[in-house]
Chains A and B, each alone.
Chain A
């Protein structure tokens, strides 16, 4: 009916109007999807016959989205983050990190940043992290007399790293919408994410050393290890971690070898870190680490080091499970998220008591546990005989039911899980339905020829390549100040990415040349970096509101945004590095 230029213009205006009147974003997009089809095909064709017609495209697109396996990782990552925030892992981790760095200038601020990076590597969302850091680190920094702006900026800027360092649901969404490999996006965003975090830490070190009054040191405690001794203890702790990991990996390889799973088969990719030759490699590493512990450090120092660092073990395990599964090629993103949920669930239960108490409990209840185990195996045998479900299957199934039942009875675990589920449901509904609406709209707009039209118009206008990219950055930053990231990735990306892909690749950036296949990945990481700014930028930067709700009342929103300024500057610096040197993302790809 109308030409695509008119449709695009009407669409843009209508979207702005609907958003201004506060219509939920997902439904506004969904309705506009209908609107686009109406303008394209006219009422007669669209509503000619009940039950069919071009409107079916909307339902097709939505069905396609709902049956996308990767999308399942989103509720799972949200669930995991919700459990994580309430699990007590964060508090323990803070204590452990603080022990190592409390004599360093700006120590707590550095600890905050490091802790944020570790949490970011566990969870893919932001919000809870800022609240956690605000509750744990802010009171300490203010009590020691840290500069208020520095404290606020450190917490919020580092707390926003959740979506920059993998796993990140921003990148998952981007990957889904643009059909880019999510694993490649995770790998590519690693370096830029760490770069941003290290910029924060460098800034903290420089500022606090130039003006020590901004970060006074705490009082010295009696009998605390110092200087070199502390470094030695840290080395010992590292040796413990290395011994633990190589020990587990060694057992894994041995298990594979004993069961014969890792016999090399032509054409089948070998299990990563699982082929028989790794027995020797892990064996040597394990032996060296154990030798360091027993011969160099000694029992006493090992015990002290373990005590100082044990809060870091749980996060390392969770990161190992999630990122290890993804990068090790063991499972896909979705299973990795599911395993993350399970790991955090059990760790949260374990943190209810100190470790020795658990051992005692296990000893005291040895007989009942053995009986339950025997009953489970007996039942499994029966189930296998009657239904033919398989002995391994039945015993795993029944065993897990017993294990989960027992875990849910630990302390407040059942409430923790129930509350986390409710929150997960809320956030999932929020994100998925924006996706549903945007998918409907994108489907309709593509049928109408929209993305091609816009890409041709922009590319045909003969603008300088980096000029176009810069304009896009300004649009992202502007939208990010008012709108949730999910809306931007869903509504703007389908228009922007085709343009970027049509730009001459050799003109992207100034240093090095990007592999043409990596352009979509690069743009995803660039987008993620933009969204880092949006979490802090006034007037709606969510990090500020999260912090406000947990900060002492005398700290106003204006104070908080003032504290953000240098950190927004750092984020923009990191963004420019990424624009000037796009090849940075290819280093690990």
Chain B
């Protein structure tokens, strides 16, 4: 029991610290924008926010430490693909952060439902906070899925290719993913930058900076995914051709194992009775 708790703290400790600091920055990033001279001198954010102080820099420092330590200590469990590419640890670390975000999302939703329907005190912030967090979850889940090689592909012909041709096909895929990434940044860079520096908010009572943060996150995460795709290409380059099944066989093996244990336990119970 103690070991189990230790294992989970070890797995989630750094991500949780990172997420906490990130939560602070997601709300008070304008402090740093002003400190680094990114803000328009006549813009609204200069009125609404102060410049960064020692506390803000400390948050950034802790964030950096949590990121570095979290990435260095990231490990995978039996149900996941191993770490073998140069970027895998980063993606797995962000995978843990995203898993935490999903649990917080469920918690926020329950909180809102209980308050709204039992105490008749709906919050102003829960729905928009969910929406904001979900945007990050959707984006970062794709990074994790890329590291886990679980994006939907069609292997009908691919599995028939000889290995060199498969390598060529993979290279083409990665090049095209990069082409898309460049095109995305080409088209959206100015808008994302402007919204971030202006700290554009959602325009509601709670007023979360969803446009400011999410517009830039789209570009950042797509770039990370492209790097992960390159990392996968390099890591898989000299691997033997793999067999692909339309279903995730590891996952089913694990589920089967768990259920057999469960059913077995039930039978023991019956025997006792």
A-to-B contact residues, CB < 8 Å: 18-28, 30-31, 33-34, 47, 50-59, 62-63, 66-67, 69, 71-72, 75-76, 79, 85-86, 88, 91-92, 95, 127-128, 131-132, 135-136, 259, 261, 330-331, 334-335, 338-339, 341-342, 390, 392-393, 396-397, 400, 404, 409, 414-415, 417-419, 421-430, 432-434, 436, 482-484, 486-487, 540, 542, 545-546, 549-550
- How many contacts between A and B, using CB within 8 angstroms? 277
Nearest-Cβ distance from residue B63 to partner chain A, whole angstroms: 22
Nearest-Cβ distance from residue A167 to partner chain B, whole angstroms: 16
Q: Are A542 and B247 CB-contacts (below 8 A) given A58-B183, A482-B156? A: yes
Instruction: Find out whether the CB atom of A422 lies under 8 angstroms from the CB atom of B95.
Output: yes
Instruction: Find out whether the CB atom of B121 lies under 8 angstroms from the CB atom of A23.
Output: no
Instruction: Find out whether the CB atom of A20 lies under 8 angstroms from the CB atom of B157.
Output: yes
23 contacts between A and B (CB under 8 A): A18-B176, A20-B157, A22-B169, A23-B153, A25-B152, A26-B142, A26-B152, A27-B180, A59-B184, A71-B138, A86-B262, A342-B110, A396-B114, A417-B103, A419-B254, A424-B99, A425-B99, A425-B102, A429-B141, A429-B144, A430-B145, A432-B141, A484-B152
C-alpha gap A135/B262 in the complex (Å): 11
B-side contacts of A63, CB under 8 Å: 211, 214-215, 218
C-alpha gap A116/B102 in the complex (Å): 28
Nearest-Cβ distance from residue B182 to partner chain A, whole angstroms: 9
Nearest-Cβ distance from residue A6 to partner chain B, whole angstroms: 20
B-side contacts of A34, CB under 8 Å: 179-180, 183
> Is B266's beta carbon under 8 Å from chain A?
yes
Nearest-Cβ distance from residue A561 to partner chain B, whole angstroms: 13
Instruction: Find out whether the CB atom of A390 lies under 8 angstroms from the CB atom of B121.
Output: yes
> Is B27's beta carbon under 8 Å from chain A?
no
Instruction: Find out whether the CB atom of A550 lies under 8 angstroms from the CB atom of B252.
Output: yes
C-alpha gap A55/B181 in the complex (Å): 11
Nearest B residue to A88 by beta-carbon distance? B262
A-side contacts of B121, CB under 8 Å: 390, 392-393
Nearest-Cβ distance from residue B148 to partner chain A, whole angstroms: 5
Stretch at the interface among B29-37, B51-59, B82-90, B127-135: B127-135
A-side contacts of B152, CB under 8 Å: 24-26, 430, 434, 484, 486-487
C-alpha gap A167/B110 in the complex (Å): 19
C-alpha gap A428/B139 in the complex (Å): 10
Stretch at the interface among B18-26, B66-74, B187-195: B187-195
The residue from A56, A334, A546 contacting B188, defined by CB atoms under 8 A apart = A56
C-alpha gap A23/B168 in the complex (Å): 11
Nearest-Cβ distance from residue B107 to partner chain A, whole angstroms: 7
C-alpha gap A335/B95 in the complex (Å): 24
Nearest-Cβ distance from residue B272 to partner chain A, whole angstroms: 11
B-side contacts of A24, CB under 8 Å: 151-153, 173
Nearest A residue to B211 by beta-carbon distance? A63
Nearest-Cβ distance from residue B8 to partner chain A, whole angstroms: 6
Q: Contact string, B91-112, partner A, CB cutoff 8 A, digits 1/0? A: 0000100110011011101111
A-side contacts of B268, CB under 8 Å: none
Instruction: Find out whether the CB atom of B138 lies under 8 angstroms from the CB atom of A432.
Output: yes
B-to-A contact residues, CB < 8 Å: 1, 4-5, 8, 11, 77, 79-80, 95, 98-99, 102-103, 105-107, 109-115, 117, 119-121, 123, 127, 130-131, 134-135, 137-139, 141-146, 148, 150-158, 166, 169-170, 172-173, 176-177, 179-180, 183-184, 186-193, 210-211, 214-215, 218-219, 229, 245-247, 249, 251-256, 258-260, 262-263, 266
Nearest A residue to B146 by beta-carbon distance? A429
B-side contacts of A484, CB under 8 Å: 152
Nearest A residue to B92 by beta-carbon distance? A422
Q: Are A426 and B145 CB-contacts (below 8 A) given A135-B263, A335-B109, A404-B107? A: yes
Nearest A residue to B4 by beta-carbon distance? A414
The residue from B127, B218, B245 contacting A545, defined by CB atoms under 8 A apart = B245
Nearest-Cβ distance from residue A385 to partner chain B, whole angstroms: 17
Q: Are A419 and B144 CB-contacts (below 8 A) given A50-B189, A51-B186, A131-B256? A: no
B-side contacts of A57, CB under 8 Å: 187
Nearest-Cβ distance from residue A217 to partner chain B, whole angstroms: 21
C-alpha gap A392/B123 in the complex (Å): 11
The residue from A18, A259, A426 contacting B144, defined by CB atoms under 8 A apart = A426
B-side contacts of A422, CB under 8 Å: 77, 79-80, 95, 99
Instruction: Find out whether the CB atom of B263 lies under 8 angstroms from the CB atom of A91.
Output: yes
Instruction: Find out whether the CB atom of B266 lies under 8 angstroms from the CB atom of A91.
Output: yes
Instruction: Find out whether the CB atom of B259 lies under 8 angstroms from the CB atom of A58.
Output: no
C-alpha gap A397/B119 in the complex (Å): 13
A-side contacts of B169, CB under 8 Å: 21-23
B-side contacts of A132, CB under 8 Å: 259
Nearest B residue to A79 by beta-carbon distance? B102
The residue from A21, A56, A69 contacting B131, defined by CB atoms under 8 A apart = A69
Q: Are A55 and B188 CB-contacts (below 8 A) given A393-B115, A542-B247? A: yes
The residue from B142, B144, B173, B255 contacting A131, defined by CB atoms under 8 A apart = B255
C-alpha gap A486/B145 in the complex (Å): 16
Nearest A residue to B120 by beta-carbon distance? A261
The residue from A50, A76, A546 contacting B106, defined by CB atoms under 8 A apart = A76
C-alpha gap A483/B154 in the complex (Å): 7
C-alpha gap A247/B32 in the complex (Å): 57
Besides A31-B180, A261-B120, A423-B79, 15 other CB < 8 A contacts?
A: A20-B154, A21-B158, A22-B169, A27-B180, A27-B229, A31-B176, A63-B218, A67-B210, A69-B131, A128-B255, A390-B121, A419-B79, A425-B141, A430-B145, A482-B154
A-side contacts of B148, CB under 8 Å: 426, 429
Give the 4 A-B CB pairs with smallest separation, nearest first: A55-B187, A429-B145, A22-B158, A59-B188
Nearest B residue to A543 by beta-carbon distance? B247
A-side contacts of B146, CB under 8 Å: 429
Instruction: Find out whether the CB atom of B255 lies under 8 angstroms from the CB atom of A335.
Output: no
Interface centre among B134, B245, B262 (most CB of A within 10 A): B134
Q: Are A69 and B127 CB-contacts (below 8 A) given A86-B259, A338-B113, A429-B145? A: yes
The residue from A53, A67, A393, A546 contacting B252, defined by CB atoms under 8 A apart = A546
Q: Are A58 and B113 CB-contacts (below 8 A) given A400-B107, A549-B249? A: no
Nearest A residue to B113 by beta-carbon distance? A335
C-alpha gap A309/B169 in the complex (Å): 55
Nearest-Cβ distance from residue A303 to partner chain B, whole angstroms: 15
B-side contacts of A72, CB under 8 Å: 105, 130-131, 134
The residue from A31, A47, A334, A415 contacting B4, defined by CB atoms under 8 A apart = A415
B-side contacts of A95, CB under 8 Å: 266
C-alpha gap A91/B259 in the complex (Å): 9
Nearest A residue to B244 by beta-carbon distance? A22
C-alpha gap A362/B155 in the complex (Å): 54
C-alpha gap A520/B151 in the complex (Å): 29
A-side contacts of B5, CB under 8 Å: 414
Q: Are A549 and B253 CB-contacts (below 8 A) given A400-B111, A540-B246? A: yes
A-side contacts of B120, CB under 8 Å: 259, 261
A-side contacts of B245, CB under 8 Å: 545
Nearest A residue to B78 by beta-carbon distance? A419
Instruction: Find out whether the CB atom of B155 lies under 8 angstroms from the CB atom of A22.
Output: yes
Nearest-Cβ distance from residue A400 to partner chain B, whole angstroms: 7
Instruction: Find out whether the CB atom of A418 lies under 8 angstroms from the CB atom of B11.
Output: yes
